[in-house]
Amino acid sequence: MRVRIAVQETPFDAATEQARLCAGDPGIGAVASFVGLVRGHNRVEGQEAEVSTLTLEHYPGMTEKALGRIVDAAAERWSLQAVTVIHRVGELCLGEPIVLVLSASAHRQAAFESCQFIMDILKTEAPFWKKERLPDGSERWVDAREYDGQAAARWLGSL
């Protein structure tokens, strides 16, 4: 299985990454993708608030290893030809891409399920920290969401 994992400040192009993922592999019959974007609002402690920018921080080296373990866990569950995970760090503006997950397999079910698995586990297991800047200039760290833990538990409970 071919794997590409990157943590970077620069934007990515999903179409270019998908072409790279599939290049020269006639065994790929399906590619599932997920692109996460910076949205202009977030609900924290039951309060909806507008967001101006999002800053993501990480521990270099540790983050890539964690992402590699997540991809390895997906490869143990599904027959995959290739996986790409790109996660951005630094200050991001509204509408910018944050994360890309591409999962390629011979069949659609493995591609769909492994893509969702990688994203769900990434949200709880990868060491990223998010800080939102609000329109008034104040900042707040974003805590893990209960939903993200539930999504991960759905997969991890069946390991």
Query: What CATH superfamily is the domain 2-156?
Result: Molybdopterin biosynthesis MoaE subunit (3.90.1170.40)
pLDDT digits (tens, 9 = 90+) for 104-152: 999 999 999 999 999 999 998 999 999 999 889 989 888 777 777 787 7
Tell me the HSE value of 78 on the side-chain side, using a 13 A CA sphere: 25
Look at residue 94 and give its three-state secondary structure: coil
Domain ranges of the chain: 2-156
**Cβ atoms of 91 and 53 closer than 8 Å:** yes
Tell me the HSE value of 70 on the side-chain side, using a 13 A CA sphere: 30
Question: Global pTM?
Answer: 0.91
For residues 62-85, one letter each, b for 16 or more C-beta atoms within 10 angstroms of the residue's C-beta and e for the rest, the string is ebbebbeebbebbeeebebbbbbb
Greater model confidence, 17 or 50: 17
- Let me know the angle formed at the C-alpha of 34 by 31 and 40, rounded to the nearest 5 degrees: 160
